[in-house]
Structure 1
Amino acid sequence: MQFLHPVFTITILILICYSFLEVYGREIKNYKSVWIVVVVLILLAGFRKFVGADYGSYLNMYSYFPFNATYSDIFQKAFFQQNSLEVEWLFVFFNNLFFNFGFPFYIFTFFVAIVSLVPKFYVIEKNVAYPATALLLYIVPGFFIADCGQIRQGVGMALAIYSFRYIKKQNLPMFLFVMYFALGFHKSTVIFLPAYWIAKVPLNKTKIIALVLFCMILSPFQIYNYFSALNSIAPQEIYQGFSDYVDIEGPSSGGVKFLDLISLLYLFFIIFFDKETCKKIPYYEYMRNLGVAGICLYFIMRGSPIFSTRLPGTYMFFTALILPNNLAVIENLSYKKFLHLILVLFVIFYYFVFGNYQAVNGRFTPESYQNYLWD
C-alpha cells in the first residue's frame, strides 16, 4: 500500500477535518482559514522539484522557447495567424517573460500554481455551501494531474472555471474574453465554449438519465475517431506519456472501469438530490448542467485514455461543487452524516488508488517528492 508524501497526506487530512466541521456544524459556515490550505497547495505545486509527469518537458520548454520563439511569433498566434509556434501563445509569452527576467524555473512554476489554484478555489468559495469538502473532492486526483502535472491545461481550466462567474451574470462578452485567455494556455479549453448555453438548458431527472444513457450507448462506437479536429486538441502521439500517467486500467481493459464507477457515483447525487438542491442553492442548475455535460463527455470519450480525461476535465470540476451542495440541503442530519462519510471514504480510497497507480510515475511518494523550499 503506497502512501503519498507526508506533506500531501497531512494536507488532505486537514481538509477532511475541515469537511467534518462544515457538515457537522449547527449552521453553514465558510471557514476563511481554508485559504491557508490553498496557499500550502500553491507552495507544494509551485516549488516542486522534478515532480509531475510533465515536469521534464516543461523544464525543457522554459529554456527552449526564449531562443526559438520571438514576441512577434507569440502575438501573431494571439491573433490566430498561422506560424511555427506549436504551444499556446499565452503560456509561451509568460514562459519567455520569466526566463528573460532571469528567474529560475521554480519561480515560473510558482506563478503558474497561483494562477491555476486561486481562480478554482475562488469559484468554489463563491458557489459551494461546504468549500473545504469541494476542495477535498477536487484535490485527488485533479490537483496532482493538472496543477502539478499538465500545467498548461491546469491554468487553462482555471480560467475557464472562472468564466462561470460570467455565465451566472449572463455576460457573454466577458465570458468570451476570459475564454480567449484560457485558450491562450491550452487549446483543449475550447470544449468549454458551449458551457455558456449548456448551463441554461432546462433539465430534470428524466432528461439527465436519458442523456447519460444515450452517451453510454454511444461509448462503444468511439465516434471521436470521426472528428479529426479532436487530435489537434489532444494528439495521441504527443501525449502518450500523459496517457500512461492518468490511465489506471490501461487502454485494453474491458468491462467496467474505475472512472465509470466514479461517474455513476456523481450521477447518483445529481439525480437523487436535484429538486431540493435547485430550490435552495443559487445557480445550482447551472453547476448541475455542466457536471452532467462532463459525465456525458466522459462516456462518449470513454474508449480513449486521452480524450476521456482531458476533454471532460473542466466540466467534471463542477461535480466537486455539486456534491457538497447536495449534502448541504439534506435536512435529515443522520442521513447527511452518512452520505458525507461515504464521500470521505471515497476520497481516502481514491488517495490509495492514486498512490498505487499514479503517484510513483508522478514522483509524489515519500521517496521521490522534492521541493525547492527544503531541498
Structure 2
Amino acid sequence: MVFYIVLWSMMAIYSFFDLTDLKYNLKKNLIFWGAILCTFLGGIRDKVGTDWEQYYYFFMGYNTYNEFFNGVYPYEYGYLWLNYLIKIITDQYNIFLLIFTGIICFFKYKLIVKLAPLPLIVFLLNFSYYKGDIFSVRQSLAISIIVFSLIYIVKKDLWKFLIIVLIATFFHRTSIIFLPAYWIYHKSFSTKNIVLLIGISILIGNSGLIEYIVNIFLGIDATVINKLAGYMENSGEGYEVVGYIGIFLAILKKIFFIFIFTVVKSKLSEKYFCYNGLYNFFCFSCFIYFLFLFSIPEVSLRIIVYYNFFEIFLLSMLIGYFNNNILRIITWLILVLYSGIYFYYALNRYYELYVPYNSIFSL
C-alpha cells in the first residue's frame, strides 16, 4: 500500500502548481512524465488488477486469426484486432499492456492539456478516480477515446466526433451511449428544467416502471439483463460488490455535486467556456443513473461512465470560483482530501487484487 501512497502523494504535490504562476508548458511536461510513469507501471504489472487472468489467457492462449476472432470471448472487433496485431509481433503480454496503457494515457493526456484550465488538478483526480489507468481494461480504452472526442464537440466538428465515437464502439459497445453528447453539450438547460428532469428520473426509477417496460418489450426480467451485462463483461466490478451502502453514498454524492455545480454555474460558465457543456454531461449522467439504478444497476453504472469522466473537470473548476488565494488553497485542500479518500476506497474495494503491486521485476 505504501507504493500507492507514494505515487498518489507525488500527483497531489504536482497539483499544487496549478495554484501558482508556473508556466503552462512546464505543467504539460509534468503531466507528460506522469502519463509516461503510469504507462510504464501499467506495462510492467504482473498478476495484479481486476480481470488479469481473463485478459492474460486470452492474449497468451490464442495465436491465429481464427482463434482470436472465432473464440469464446465476446469481445469487440477493435480489441480483437489490437490483440491479434500485437501477437503477430510478440507473444509478450507485458508489451501488449504497455501499448494498451500507452494509448489510454495518450488520449487522456491530449484532452487534459488541450481543454483543462487546471490540468494538474484534473490529472490528480483522474489518477484517483481511475487508479492512473495502470489497471486498465477494455472499457478504459473506450472511455479514453470517447473523452478525447470532447475536443471536436467544442470545435463543433460533428463528423470527427461521430467517427471517434464509432471507433470507441469497436472497443466497447456501450460507447454508443455517448452519441447524444454532441447535442447535450451545446444545449442550454435552465436550473428549473434540470431539477425537474432529475426529479422525474428518481420517481420513475423507484416506481418499477423500467422493470415493467423491460418485461413487456423484451419478455425477460430486468434482473436477468443486469446479470447478463456482468456476465458479458466477465467482470468482477459489479453492483453487488458496491453494496447498498455504497449505492446510497453515491446517490448522496451526486445530489450534493448537482447542488454545488448549480450554485457556481453562473460565475464559472462565464470564466470557463466549457463549464456549461460539462455541467450538462454531469446532469445527464445523473438522470440515467437515477432512472436505471434500482432496476438494472449494472447497466446504469456501465453506460454513465463516459459522461461521469467530466466530473473531474467540473471539480477542478471549483477553485476558479474564488479570487482570494486563501479560499483557493482551502478548496484545493478539500479536493486533495476528497481525491485521496476516493483513491483509497477504489483500491480497497478489491484490496487483494491491487495490493501489493507486483511487476515483472518483482522477486
TM-score by length of 1: 0.84
Percentage identity across paired residues of the two chains? 20
The one of 286, 291, 312 equivalent to 2:304 is 312
- Between the aligned partners of 1:255 and 1:324, the Cα distance in structure 2 is 24
Give the superposition deviation at 1:13.
Answer: 0.7
In structure 1, how many angstroms separate the alpha carbons of the residues matched to 2:256 and 2:32?
Answer: 28
Conserved 8 A contact 1:199-1:285: yes
Question: CA offsets, 1:9-36, max 9 Å, x none?
Answer: 222111211222213x258856121221
- Which amino acid is 1:100 matched to? I
Q: Distance in 2 between matches of 1:207 and 1:18?
A: 39
Aligned to 1:271: 262
The structure in which a higher percent of residues are helix is 2
Alignment partner for residue 354 of structure 2, among 354, 364, 369?
Answer: 364
CA drift at 1:211? 2.5
What stretches of structure 2 of length at least 5 have no aligned partner? none
Q: 2:204 aligns with which of 218, 224, 232?
A: 218
Of 147, 151, 174, 1:188 maps to 174
Q: Which residue of 1 aligns with 2:345?
A: 353
For residues 1-375 of structure 1, what are the structure 2 equivalents within 5 Å? 4-6=1-3, 8-23=4-19, 25=20, 29=24, 31-32=27-28, 33-67=30-64, 69=66, 86-143=74-131, 148-149=135-136, 151-221=137-207, 225=211, 226-227=213-214, 231=225, 235-239=229-233, 241-244=235-238, 249-250=242-243, 253=244, 257-303=248-294, 304-360=296-352, 363-366=353-356, 369-374=357-362
Q: Note if contact 1:22-1:28 (Cα within 8 Å) is conserved in structure 2.
A: no
Distance 1:309 1:334 in 2: 37
Q: Distance in 2 between matches of 1:234 and 1:157?
A: 21
CA displacement at 1:204 relative to structure 2: 3.2
CA distance in 2, matches of 1:35, 1:236: 34
> What letter corresponds to residue 35 of structure 1 in structure 2?
F
Distance 1:254 1:15, change over 3 A: closer
The one-letter amino acid paired with 1:278 is S
TM-score (norm 2): 0.86
Preserved contact between residue 41 and residue 134 of structure 2 (Cα < 8 Å): no
Cα distance between partner residues in 2 of 1:218 and 1:242? 28
> What number of residue pairs does the alignment pair up?
352
Q: Distance in 2 between matches of 1:373 and 1:305?
A: 39
Amino acid at match of 1:53: T
C-alpha RMSD over aligned residues: 2.9
Distance 1:157 1:62 in 2: 21
Change (3 A) 1:179 1:276: same
How far apart are the structure 2 equivalents of 1:102 and 1:29?
A: 38
Change over 3 Å in CA distance of 1:373–1:282 after alignment to 2: farther
Deviation at 1:190? 0.9
**What secondary structure sits across from 2:359 in the alignment?**
coil
- How far apart are 1:256 and its partner, in Å? 6.2
Q: CA deviation at 1:356?
A: 3.0
- Measured at CA, do residues 89 and 143 of structure 1 come closer, stay the same or move farther in structure 2, by a change above 3 Å? same
Q: Is the 1:199–1:289 Cα contact (8 Å) retained in structure 2? A: yes
**Aligned partner letter, 2:163:** F
- Check conservation: 2:139, 2:171, Cα contact below 8 A: yes
Residues 85 and 285 of structure 1, relative CA distance in 2, 3 Å threshold: same
